[in-house]
Copies of this chain bind each other. A is one copy, B any other.
Amino acid sequence: MIDMLGRGDVIPLQKALELLDNVAVVIPEKERMPVEDICGRILAETITSAEDVPHFARSTMDGYALRAEDTFGVTETLPAYIKITNEVFMGKTPNFYIKHGEAAKIPTGGMLPDGTDAVLMFEHTQPFGEADIEVLKALAPGDNVIQAGQDIHKGAVLLHPGHKLRPQDMGALCAVGISETWVYKRPVVSIISTGDEIIPPGVPLNGAEVRDINSYNLSGLLLNNGAVPARKGIFRDDYDTIHDIVTEAVKTSQMVLITGGSSVGTLDMTARIIDSLGRPGVVFHGVAVKPGKPLIAGSVNGIPVFGLPGHPAAVTVSFEVFIKPVLRRLKGELADESSKDILRARLTSNIASQPARTDFIWIKVLNNGGELFAQPLLSKSGLISALVQADGLIKIPAEKRGLQKGDEVIVRLF
């Protein structure tokens, strides 16, 4: 479909995402890193345990290691009597054997001595004489014990390549004795601000100038999503100038984001530059979403290049909806974690929506005694103040004409 200005195909959201999914990207490089530095990075190898964890049968309680069969049939009114013949210390291999009718004192985490198969908690005993205890509870073999390999078996696959490493994964790597691992290098993403009217934030405004907002917003979005932002600066709306900086950027980074005006002339120029630099060039120009309709997506020999509309609100939506899935592939991330960035809430008011267009609406989440409400922040697109108030976005699909107050919506947080 061609829009009224002949701006090329304005395609539906789903079609745009499919086209992006099929754009080839360069496979990320790997680097070896110590475990303490991998939080949030993407694993680039399969982690197989070379050890049993734990590597010996351990007590999970402070108590007495013994043979469970010595306690069979025991009740509080019919106790058994056991002799304490030894003691297990943390980190020490017990060099003794426990016979029938005997037990060894053992701390939480201690190694079970030979001859024992269960641990009786202190709480279920009474002292009896000098070295004996009264056993008040029957145990089954394995009670209060973690067996060797019960947590992680030797040879078990613990983590797969493409997994985003969390704190507990760092712990798990340490548990199996791995102190460094292969992760994917973080992609460097160039940010190019264009526009004759754009000036940096720290400079006084003159006349019709406006400040560079988008390259800072994009820097933050990239940092939050595991990429390295490279702000290239602000460039004049001139074919040769922008051609030169984009040419350099596709050589020195793994993705290029060009943020500029929303006027047709500027966007067409960006599209021509993308087409001139390599294959396949522009993949789509214009999507049936609001905000963010004039988005340009392309690829230059494996380097994705996006031309973003100038409104800050459109920049954020374009990033969340279109750029993030491509960035995930550049990072080597396999699992789609996006289902976990969402929450369900009830709309506090009606929202109208135009059919055949996917609308993204800014939401403030209100927590009213544990029940979550989604308050739409309706405003002209491009207002940075609405973005500051917002907690996330909801989507109104193209086939809907709006949503009703009280409807349950899925809020994507950002």
Contacts and interface: CB of A to CB of B under 8 A. Distances in A.
A178 B202 CA distance: 6
Most buried by B among A4, A39, A122, A171: A171
A86 B110 CA distance: 87
Nearest to A343: B343
Contact of A200 (B62, B166, B179, B384): B179
Contacts of A264: 62
A390 B171 CA distance: 13
A52 to B, nearest CB: 10
A217 interface: yes
B171 A208 contact: no
A8 interface: no
B151 A383 contact: yes
A17 interface: no
Given A172-B385, A216-B171, A217-B171, A91 B196 contact: yes
B316 A168 contact: yes
Contact of A172 (B203, B372, B384): B384
A333 interface: no
Give the interface centre of A179, A214, A343, A380 by most chain B CB atoms within 10 Å: A343
A218 B123 CA distance: 31
B343 A263 contact: no
A168 B109 contact: no
A366 to B, nearest CB: 9
A32 to B, nearest CB: 13
A231 B231 CA distance: 33
Contacts of A410: 370
Nearest to A208: B111
A307 interface: no
Contacts of A122: 4-5
B207 A159 contact: no
Contacts of A213: 171-172, 174-175
A90 B195 contact: yes
A56 interface: yes
Contacts of A365: 339-340
Interface string A140-180: 00000010001110000011000000111111111101111
Given A168-B390, A216-B35, A388-B169, A205 B51 contact: yes
A216 B91 contact: no
B167 A179 contact: no
Contacts of A177: 201-205, 211
A283 interface: no
Given A39-B223, A51-B205, A340-B343, A384 B168 contact: yes
Interface string A376-414: 000011111101101100000000000000000010011
A286 interface: no
Contact of A55 (B56, B205, B229, B261): B205
A107 interface: yes
A123 B36 CA distance: 57
A129 interface: no
Of listed A93, A216, A385, residue having the most chain B CB within 10 A: A216
Contacts of A123: 4-5
Given A36-B231, A89-B196, A390-B168, A201 B173 contact: yes
Nearest 3 A/B pairs, CB to CB: A167-B220, A91-B197, A179-B202
7 contacts: A35-B201, A56-B208, A58-B210, A62-B264, A91-B207, A150-B380, A177-B201
Given A62-B263, A91-B207, 5 more contacts: A53-B385, A58-B210, A60-B381, A177-B204, A339-B365
